[in-house]
Copies of this chain bind each other. A is one copy, B any other.
C-alpha cells in the first residue's frame, strides 16, 4: 500500500461512534508501527486533516476536511439539494431515511434522518454500505455503468445474514426488478429484521450517483408500506435528480 493510502486509512478509522482515538489505539487498529502511525498523523495534522486535542492528546478528524468537503459541495451541491427532501420523506414515512453517495465500490452514507420513535432502524453518518446486500446498493447498480456492475458481481460477495443474496444471478434479478419498479427492496440483506426500499439519484449523464432509502423494522412493515415508501422514495430521488441537473431531461433518460 502506498504511504498516502496508509495515511488515508488512518482517517478511515474514525467513526461517529469513536470520533477520537489515541496514538497506540490507531497504531493497533491500522496495523502500522507506532512510529509510522505518528509520522502519518503529524503529516495529516500539519495540513489540518487531523487535529490533536491539546489536553487529552487524542486525535480526531480536522477542520481541513470541512473545508475540502465544502469546496466539493460548492461544485456538487448534493447534500444541500437532497437534505430537505430526505427530511420530507422521513416525516412522510415516520421511518429512518438515509442518503448515500457512491465512492470506491461502496455507498457512503452522507445524511440520515431518524424518526422520533424508540423502535427504529439506526444508521450512522459515514457508514459504508456494500452494493450487493442493501436496497441502496441494488438500486444503485440497477442504474450504474456496466463497469461498476461488473466490478461488483465478479468479486466474491459476503453474506451478512441468512437472507443475503450472494449469487450474481439473483442480484441481477433484483436489479432488473428495481429498474422496472424504479425502486429496490432489500429484505434483511444486511441485518436481520430490517427491510429497506431505495431509489436512485441520477447524475446528468443518466447514471446513478447516489441513493435515497427508507429503512424500517420488518415486524411492523406491510406489503402496502413497502409499495408506498418505494413510490415516495422514487419521487424524492427524481426531484433531487432534477434539482441537481437543472431540469435537464437527459437526467430522466434511464429512469423513464
Name A's B-contacting residues (CB within 8 A): 2-5, 7-9, 11-12, 14-16, 19-20, 39-40, 43-49, 51, 54-55, 60-76, 78-79, 101-104, 108-111, 124-126, 145, 205
Contacts and interface: CB of A to CB of B under 8 A. Distances in A.
Contacts of A65: 65, 68-69, 72
Contacts of A55: 205
Given A47-B12, A64-B104, A71 B126 contact: yes
A67 B108 contact: yes
The 4 closest A-B pairs by CB, nearest first: A69-B69, A19-B75, A48-B103, A4-B43
A108 B71 contact: no
Contacts of A7: 4, 7
Contact of A101 (B3, B66, B74, B125): B66
Q: How many copies does the complex hold?
A: 2
A151 to B, nearest CB: 13
A49 B8 contact: yes
A5 B43 contact: yes
B8 A70 contact: no
22 contacts: A3-B3, A4-B4, A4-B7, A4-B44, A8-B43, A8-B64, A12-B47, A15-B71, A16-B71, A45-B104, A47-B104, A54-B145, A60-B76, A62-B103, A63-B72, A64-B108, A65-B72, A66-B69, A66-B78, A66-B108, A66-B110, A71-B126
Contacts of A73: 66, 125
Contacts of A15: 71
B14 A63 contact: no
Contacts of A66: 69, 72-73, 78-79, 101, 108, 110
Contacts of A11: 68
A79 B44 CA distance: 22
A62 B72 contact: yes
Contacts of A39: 2
Nearest to A39: B2
Contacts of A48: 103-104, 108
